[in-house]
């Protein structure tokens, strides 16, 4: 595993990167991605993934996700990183969306998704791991209006999908959910 190193980062800065954000639910992945895209629209672009789940309050189709029927996801060769949740909802990323060369791309994934990207031949990946303690995770899920049942399911899901993965020679940026947004944005900017 390689930790972020400014000298090594400078050598890689000439090519556009795929920043893959990995962390438990409510760790701040989506918030950090939105902040990077808003503050630096000429540098970063969010990969808008697809889902079959219902829209949450405040979400916008085509901006937060592309909301599509379940049938769209089954056996679709245009998609990578397809997963089905315990609730029967699908998430997936369109392959073509990962090849934009004008901006650094921002994407959330599970560790297994990062490994799939490596298997597909991506070598410009920067893994951004965001750690969060359980108390803060629960507080954030309650704040966004998740039911106690959804919170319980998410906590179980986070435990079952967390793993220490070998991310080959990818740069890894370690962040903590309790850091300020400015600190987190600054860490990402150093990598590009």
Nearest to 76 by CA among 99, 101, 61, 96: 96
* 12 is a domain residue: yes
Number of alpha carbons in the 13 Å side-chain half-sphere of residue 95:
9
Q: What is the share, in percent, of the chain residues with pLDDT greater than 90?
A: 51
Give the domain range for residue 26: 2-47+101-190
* 59 is a domain residue: no
Q: Structure pTM? A: 0.80
* 155 is a domain residue: yes
Contact predicate 176/132, CB 8 Å = yes
User: What pLDDT score was predicted for residue 13?
Assistant: 41
- State both tokens at 167: 């991310």
* 87 is a domain residue: no
User: What pLDDT score was predicted for residue 108?
Assistant: 92
Residue with tokens 């219902």: 54
How many folded domains does the chain comprise? 1
User: What pLDDT score was predicted for residue 66?
Assistant: 97
Q: How confident is the model at residue 7 (pLDDT cuts 50, 70, 90)?
A: very low
* 96 is a domain residue: no
Q: Is the pLDDT of residue 155 over 80?
A: no
CATH number at residue 158: 3.40.50.300
* 136 is a domain residue: yes
User: What pLDDT score was predicted for residue 162?
Assistant: 55
Distance CA 26, CA 132 (A): 8
pLDDT in tens, 59-105: 999 999 999 999 999 999 999 999 998 789 999 999 999 987 789 99
* 160 is a domain residue: yes
Contact predicate 60/119, CB 8 Å = no
* 89 is a domain residue: no
């Amino acid at each position: 595993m390689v930790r972020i190193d400014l000298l090594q980062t400078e050598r890689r800065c000439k090519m556009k990167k795929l920043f893959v954000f990995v962390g438990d639910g409510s760790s701040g992945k989506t918030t950090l991605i939105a902040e990077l895209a808003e503050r630096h629209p000429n540098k970063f672009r969010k990969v808008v993934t697809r889902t079959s789940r219902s829209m949450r309050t405040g979400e916008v189709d085509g901006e937060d996700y592309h909301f599509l029927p379940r049938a769209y996801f089954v056996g679709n060769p245009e998609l990578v990183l397809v997963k089905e949740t315990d609730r029967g909802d699908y998430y997936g990323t369109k392959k073509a969306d990962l090849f934009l060369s004008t901006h650094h791309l921002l994407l959330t994934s599970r560790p297994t998704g990062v490994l799939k990207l490596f298997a597909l031949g991506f070598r410009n990946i920067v893994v951004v791991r965001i750690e969060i303690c359980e108390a803060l995770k629960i507080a954030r899920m309650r704040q966004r209006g998740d039911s106690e049942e959804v919170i319980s399911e998410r906590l179980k899901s986070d435990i079952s999908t967390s793993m220490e993965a070998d991310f080959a020679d990818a740069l890894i940026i370690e962040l903590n959910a309790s850091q300020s947004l400015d600190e987190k944005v600054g860490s990402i900017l150093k990598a590009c």
